[in-house]
């Protein structure tokens, strides 16, 4: 083990939607520090105007994702020593989203697509009915369970080059949400979900590059969920035409 240098050399993207560039900061190295710690240190000790977003600091809320050395990561759970190149680090705002300022992106397009992909429950019962039992071992439920730990951090959305090339594409997170609801046997309108993901920005645009599944900090598999939607919609396509 070599001694860690006293200072880290951190390049942080500064600017807004009209443009910007990287600015250098020196940050003291610590035995244990996350990328979010580094960004916070700069804001607290060097430049109070640095803008970024975080809330829980423990990987629950999904608000602190940034590009770290060109890869999207949840910064609160990314240890500096695992991503450091020499003693340098480059931190920027997430790709594929408009920048509000510095490291804070406008997440509206990301969440609008959750709505557009019909990521809302269609109830089968009212509040007066007894609660439907859920069998955790049943096939559809197992499939749905694989996607429900999504924290909406937009790391997958930012990693996806299909989103980059096709701004209408709903993206991995919204499509995985749709797949989760499609597998909910308590959902009353699964056809509406398939309709919502079969348009010109739908699941059929996915090229299975796999960056979503590669980078998902919770190790979910949106690529598999999207393949599930393709299969379900193709099956329905043949049923309808026969």
Partner 1 sequence: MLDIRLYMLQRITALIMAPLTLGHIAVMIYAVQGGISAEEILSRTQGSVFWFLFYGCFVVAVSLHGAIGLRVVVHETFGVIGKTLSWFTWLVAAGLMALGLYAVFAVTL
Partner 2 sequence: MIRHAHRSHGLWLAFILHRLSGVALALFLPVHFYVLSLALTEPARLDGFLNWTDRPLVKAAEFGLVFLLAVHIFGGLRLMALEFLPWPSRQKSFAAGAVALALFLSGGFLLSAM
Give one DSSP letter per residue of 144-211, joined into a string: HHTTTT-----HHHHH-HHHHH-TT---HHHHHHHHHHHT-TT-S-HHHHHHHTSSTTSGGG-----H
Could you give the count of Cα atoms lying within 13 Å of 158 in the half-sphere of its Cβ? 27
Applying CB under 8 A, does 14 fall inside the site for partner 2? no
Applying CB under 8 A, does 234 fall inside the site for partner 2? yes
Query: Residues 193 to 222: which contact partner 1 by CB under 8 A?
Result: 198-200, 202, 204-205
DSSP lists the bridge partners of residue 11 as 24, 90
CA–CA distance, 226 with 231 (Å, rounded to integer) = 9
- Binder among 35, 64, 95, 197 for partner 2 (CB under 8 A): 95
CB of 208 to partner 2, least distance (A): 6
CB of 84 to partner 2, least distance (A): 13
CA–CA distance, 165 with 114 (Å, rounded to integer) = 19
The site map against partner 1 for 147-186 (x = CB under 8 A) is: ---------------x-xxx-x------------------
Q: Tally Cβ neighbours within 10 Å of residue 51.
A: 15
CB of 71 to partner 2, least distance (A): 5
Query: Residues 162 to 221: which contact partner 2 by CB under 8 A?
Result: 207-211, 214-215
The region of 57-65, 103-111, 131-139, 230-238 touching partner 2 under the rule CB under 8 A is 230-238
Q: Which is nearer to partner 1, 200 or 242 (CB)?
A: 200
Q: The tokens of 48 are what? A: 């109070």
Q: Which residues bind partner 1 (CB under 8 A)?
A: 162, 164-166, 168, 198-200, 202, 204-205, 230, 233-234, 237
């Amino acid at each position: 083990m070599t001694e860690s240098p006293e200072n880290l050399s951190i390049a942080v993207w500064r600017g807004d939607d009209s443009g910007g560039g990287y600015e250098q900061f020196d940050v003291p190295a610590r035995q244990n520090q996350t990328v979010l710690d580094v960004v916070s240190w700069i804001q607290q000790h060097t430049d109070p105007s640095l803008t970024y977003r975080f809330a829980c600091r423990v990987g629950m809320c999904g608000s602190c994702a940034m590009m770290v050395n060109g890869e999207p990561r949840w910064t609160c759970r990314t240890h500096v020593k695992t991503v450091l190149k020499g003693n340098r680090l480059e931190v920027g705002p997430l790709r594929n989203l408009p920048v509000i300022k510095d490291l804070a992106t406008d997440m509206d397009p990301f969440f609008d697509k959750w709505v557009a992909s019909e990521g809302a429950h269609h109830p089968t019962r009212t509040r007066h009915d007894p609660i439907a039992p859920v069998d955790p071992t049943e096939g559809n439920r197992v499939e749905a369970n694989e996607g429900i730990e999504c924290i909406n951090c937009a790391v997958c959305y930012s990693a996806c080059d299909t989103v980059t090339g096709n701004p209408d594409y709903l993206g991995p997170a919204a499509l995985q949400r749709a797949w989760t609801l499609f597998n909910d046997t308590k959902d009353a309108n699964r056809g509406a979900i398939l309709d919502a993901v079969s348009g010109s920005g739908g699941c059929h645009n996915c090229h299975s590059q796999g960056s979503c599944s590669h980078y998902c900090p919770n190790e979910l598999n949106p690529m598999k969920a999207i393949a599930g939607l393709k299969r379900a919609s193709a099956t329905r396509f043949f049923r309808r035409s026969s």
